[in-house]
Amino acid sequence: MSAKKFIQLLEDNGILDASTLREVRRQITDKKVSAATVAKALVEKGKLTKFQATKLVGQATATPEPSEDDESGLLLVDETPTDEEVVMLESAVDEPEEVVGLTPVEDAGAALTPVGGAAAARGGGLEPIDGGSLESLDDFGGGGLDAVDPFSTPTQAAGAAAGGKPAEPRQRREKKNQQDWGGKLMIGGGGLLLFLFLAGGLLWYNLTRDPAIKIFERGEEAYRSESYSDAMATFENFLKQYPSDENADTAKVRIALCRVRIVVNDSQRAYETAMEQLPTVQDLEAFSTARDELATLLPAIPEGFIKKAKQAPDTNAMEELIGKAEKALADLVNKPEYVPASKRPAERLKRIDEDILIVKRAIAQDRDLTKAIAEIKQHAANNKTVEAYQVYKDLLNIYPVVADDPGMQAAVLEITERQKGLVKVEEAAMEASKTDETSLTEFRVVLASRTANAANGVARLNGQVVPLLAAGAVYGLDAGTGKVLWRRYVGHVTDHHPQPLNGQPDADVLVTDGHRQELLRVNSTSGDLVWRLAIGEGFAAPSIAGDQIYVATISGKILQIDAESGNSERRVVMPQGLEISPGAAQIHPYLIQIGDHSNLYAISRDSMTCEHVVYFGHKAGTVATPPLIVQDHVLIAENAGPDYCLLHVFKITPSGDGPLLRRPQAPIRLTGNVIVPMVLYGRRPLVVTDLGEVNVFNIDFNTEKDTVTTATAALPASRAAPLLSYPVVEGTTLVLADEKLIKYQLQVTTKQITQKSVTNSSDSCIAPPRLFGDILIVTRRKQGSVGATVSALQVDNFRQPEWETQLGTPIGRVSPAGSQLDAITAAGALFEIDAKVLQAKVSNEPALTVTAASGSLSFTDPVEFAGGKVAFFNPSDNERALIYTPEAGPGRLRIVQLKLSGAKVTCTPVAFQDGLLAPLDNGSVLLANTTTGDNLVLPFQPKLGPGEDVKWQRPAVLGEAFVIVDDRKNIYRVEIKPDPKPFLAPIASGKLELDITSDLAAVGDTVYGVVRNSGGDVIVALNAGDLKPAKEFALTGRVVWGPVQVGDAVLCLSSTEGLLCFEAGANQRWANSVGCGGQPAGNPLQVASDFLFALREGSVVRIAGAGGEQVTSVTIGEPLGAGPVAFGARVLLPGSDGALHVIRTPSAEGQ
């Protein structure tokens, strides 16, 4: 056997490392050494087992190489060899047996030459292979071989190995007849026997070993069964037996994957194993089949690191592990050699990236938390609680969950302890005023439309006043008739409902004016001012405690106000802002005040000093209602989550060694948020959530723990979305008012809340209802309508009101009509206003009202005709018109339905030839009769493809013609042709390059429109004759109002350039960069050569027509809803909330 082939087998099977193989090859270079010799040396040095040596020598022997006969283990000679030339090599795995001289056995009957003796030992047989011929293999970790002379005799070799001189060779017998006559036969026979033994062994090996495909399939089956250790052993055996098989590369890849899979649950080992194994097989052709599997396997490694990071005990460990996860992603998962981009599991990798970000956020959170706690403690130690709380709030804005961290809670508690000493009492006198603000309005008339079943309404309630907030004003209504007694504008920013000072029917009313930031006391019957106190900043709804009123301001002050005079002599200055009113205890002299976050304060009403501070732990904005105090119990609703509330219970204990406020039980969890104040049913708290859950509780004042329990079974949450729901209770009757009116009966004895009736209206309740025995007074905003409707309903029949009053409905137009004024509201009511009404300041009875079979009544867009006729449209559909015709008697107000044949009007119609010009989305433009809604003439209909729709812009009228554009850049000038039947016919048309998206306005021979551009709008002037652009005016801002034609000018308002004035001939007359002071309400009124603007914000501005400068302005103080109307020396100003204002026409100073 060739030693070189044997070494090659060692290398192919990966049995020895490369350095050992190099050293073995070095020692046998240019020397003839047998494989058995090498195998024996490696066995003795522990580098091979006997089994491995035998197997490898057998494989080499099975396929001898003809070119190396002298190394095959048998010495072949041409002639009969001498005794010295025959050497039998022993197996490398068998211990060598020393052949000693044999004693000849004489056979008397046969002439045989004795076998054995000195001659035999000298000339033939087996010589032991002395291991002394091997070098130490330790020098290179494997082993080595001494130089071996294959031509020395065994004796010489042995002597040399022993360090002595070579033994002298045995002398040959000189006489031929003394030689062993059977030597050749025995040598030949031995060789034959050895050959047969090897051939038989090889045959046995090939017959008994498994075929290659069988071993490979057994490995594949184990791999598929996830028995990766068995699979790896099988594939390794396969490679040892069949290293050149066609499946050898696949087996190598499988082995690499097995080694990774076996340790995949240990991310670090898996990463190291993958980094070691995959490069060794990535260039094999079979590796391509493993990429799908690697796309699933390799992401598990970073996932393992991430999982450990989430469970890591400290931030440093988390950061280290997340760094390993990112490295595993970069080195393995995102490496295209292993997982091509097309095979990467996008969703899984997205989750991994998200998890990495989550852990990184947790790392940053931990570090920021540690830093914030240190800063908070430092600020607290320096009494800088504002700064300390700011650090807390800033951190919560980024990491809301840190509010529950024990370390953060301890830090905030330290601030809280400092808070008590930071609450200061200030003696600061604030004097209330007894007079109202001076108004420049000469007359103000409130228009309210009232209907009633009986002339006297509910007689038993006559004289009782119901104060309510609606449409930015507080109204006082007679509870019996529904008549408006008085109105006071408080601004749309006001959300505090008026409160009677006490339970008496004629008690004065506390009113909040959010517009002026004032608190007022007014007479409930007349609405006259008793006093008003300027608070000077935003404040919560006032709390009433006997003859004292307490007001909490957003900057952190609690004002103590004398209810009689309105004056304030002292106040408490808190170290944090306040958003909720304080609760006043009935039997203890304390105010319970919730801070805007974290803290709960107990303030003495006697001294206004802080008696106790409790770290409540709430976040900003989570407490929406004042505390409810029932004797010595305090209930606070914390909206701790978007769909649940925690009802906290505290007990006031002024005596004893414990704290003033203590918790007798854990918070009670409710479904939904509490956003309306809790109320009392007797002495039982009643709590309603925005998801419809209703709870009634009992309070046991004599126990120490678990003092608040349910009095009835909870009415479960019935809504999926939040909804404002007001409760009102009297006796055993509970009514919930939201988009429905639901009546319940409270049965405490049976612990039931029983539904009695329900009325669906789809109208929203906008104020707390009032219950007067069997009469419920409720304020709602009807669906699709403007303003508010107040109804008095029988509790047993919610469908038929005893009376109903509409409030806050915008006035669309006021027209002088002889000695009176006609005022038309958006709800279709016409009021006749004379001198008597002007003096009364209120009109409850419209002269005319119209009704509609369906749809909402919200006619807010006026269209004016010559002669005083006005058509009003609802901008949401423009399909019906409220037509007002002066001097037409009872029929002067009516609703007309336009005959549209299913089409939609694309813009507000225009007055044209005593008809309504209505562009439709089906492409036609019709002229409707204002009496019947029919076509006055045949419509204009340009060509359209099947199913095509058109968006027309509002046309501009030029005498007996009009110009109109569509969204396809088509422009037409149209007039009425009389023959054969009157019809709208185009007399000119064109195609624009610009897309006009605004109304058109015309003056003289020029039509103006607006083109929207990304950098700024463009006002384009078109020639009315040929319909071509005459000039463009580029703006840097947006047109926010206009173009509108007023007299001989067209006006536009730009967000940047201000008020712009254009005239005929495509000329710009002037520009006022200041604008007009606000957003115009309706169209301006031309007064002489000037323009008078009514602004929605509540003022009137006069602009010079010649140069555009502001001449003068008048502040009304209330919002306006339509353009001014001339009335002699006065101007009529329709309000957007149902009030008509009459002022002197503004003029320049000195005029």
Q: When comparing pLDDT for 240 and 15, which is higher?
A: 240
pLDDT mean over 526-530: 97
User: pLDDT value at position 810?
Assistant: 95
Read off the pLDDT band of 70 (50, 70, 90). very low
Span 721-750, pLDDT tens digits: 999 999 999 989 999 999 999 999 999 999
- CB neighbours of 158 closer than 8 A, spacing ≥ 6? 128, 130, 132, 167
In a domain, 259, yes or no: no
Per-residue CA distances from 699 to 584, 623, 644, 682, 731 (Å): 18, 22, 22, 11, 19
Residue 296 resides in a domain: no
Question: Which of 54-68, 73-87, 782-796, 1050-1064 has the lowest average pLDDT?
Answer: 73-87
CB environment 382-401: b (16+ within 10 A), e (fewer): eebbebbbebbeebbeebee
pLDDT, position 430:
97
pLDDT of 621 higher than 50:
yes
Q: Is there a domain that residue 667 lies in?
A: no
> Range with the lowest mean pLDDT among 20-29, 756-765, 881-890, 956-965?
20-29
From 414, 373, 380, 377, select the one nearest 396 (Cα to Cα). 373
Which of the listed residues 578, 600, 616 is the one where a domain comes to its end? Answer: 578
* 79-83, 287-291, 485-489, 858-862: the lowest-pLDDT one: 79-83
Give the CA distances from residue 791 to residues 603, 656, 803, in Å, rounded to whole numbers and listed in that order.
41, 52, 6
Percent of the chain with pLDDT over 70: 86
The predicted structure's pLDDT at residue 49: 79
Least confident span in 138-142, 645-649, 1132-1136:
138-142
Query: Does some domain include residue 182?
Result: yes
pLDDT tens readout for residues 1097-1115: 999 999 999 999 999 999 9
Domain assignment of residue 389, yes or no: no
Looking at mean pLDDT, say which of 90-99, 164-173, 394-403, 1039-1048 comes out highest. Answer: 1039-1048
Q: What is the DSSP letter of 846?
A: -
CATH number at residue 1128: 2.40.128.630
Instruction: Among 208, 234, 259, give the residue marking a domain's end.
Output: 208
Instruction: Band the pLDDT of 81: cuts 50, 70, 90.
Output: very low
Domain assignment present for 918: no
Q: How confident is the model at residue 393 (pLDDT cuts 50, 70, 90)?
A: confident
Query: Per-residue pLDDT averaged across 416-438, rounded?
Result: 91
In this prediction, residues 1137-1142 reach a mean pLDDT of: 96
Give me the percent of the chain exceeding a pLDDT of 90.
Answer: 68
Residue 885: its pLDDT value, please?
Answer: 93
Residue length of the chain: 1151
Task: Kindly state the DSSP code that residue 482 receives in the 8-state scheme.
Answer: -
Least confident stretch, 545-549, 610-614, 960-964, 1068-1072: 610-614
Mean pLDDT, the chain, whole residue set: 86
Judged against a pLDDT cut of 90, whether residue 784 lies above it is answered with no
984 within 8 A of 937, measured Cβ to Cβ: yes
- DSSP state for residue 704 in the 8-state scheme: S
pLDDT, one tens digit per residue, over 305-328 is 999 999 998 999 999 999 999 999
Range 8-27 average pLDDT: 77
What pTM was estimated for this model as a whole?
A: 0.69
Q: Would you state the structure tokens that stand for residue 92, as one six-digit string?
A: 């490398």
Residue 711 has pLDDT above 80, yes or no: yes
pLDDT value at 87 more than 50: no
Its sign, for the CA torsion 41, 43, 44, 46, is positive
CA distance 366 to 645: 28
- Measured CA distances, 777 to 465, 495, 730, 741, 769 (Å): 11, 19, 13, 11, 6
pLDDT digits 0-9 by tens, 435-479: 998 888 999 999 999 998 876 789 999 999 999 999 999 999 999
Spatial CA neighbour of 778 closest among 745, 460, 768: 768
Phi, psi of 295, rounded to the nearest 5 degrees: -60, -25
User: Of residues 617 and 108, which shows the higher confidence score?
Assistant: 617
pLDDT over threshold 90, residue 966: yes
Contact present, 681 and 696 (Cβ < 8 Å): yes
- pLDDT tens-digit series, residues 874-926: 988 889 999 999 887 778 999 999 999 999 999 999 999 999 999 999 999 99
Tell me, what's the pLDDT at 383?
81
Is 379 within a domain?
no
Best-predicted range by mean pLDDT (523-537, 602-616, 938-952) = 523-537
No. of helices (H) and no. of strands (E), the chain: 18, 67
The whole-number pLDDT of residue 168 equals: 44
Domain of residue 537, residue span = 424-437+465-578
pLDDT value of position 500: 96
Q: Is 562 helix (H, G, I), strand (E, B) or coil?
A: strand
pLDDT at 954 over 50: yes
Q: Determine the 3-state secondary structure of 502 from DSSP.
A: coil
Domain boundary (897, 920, 949) is at 897
The number of distinct structural domains making up the chain is 4
Under the banding of pLDDT at 50, 70 and 90, the label for residue 178 is: very low
Contact 269, 230 (CB under 8 A): no
Going along 431-490, which residue ranges are E strands? 443-447, 449-452, 465-470, 473-478, 484-489
Q: Is residue 84 part of a domain?
A: yes
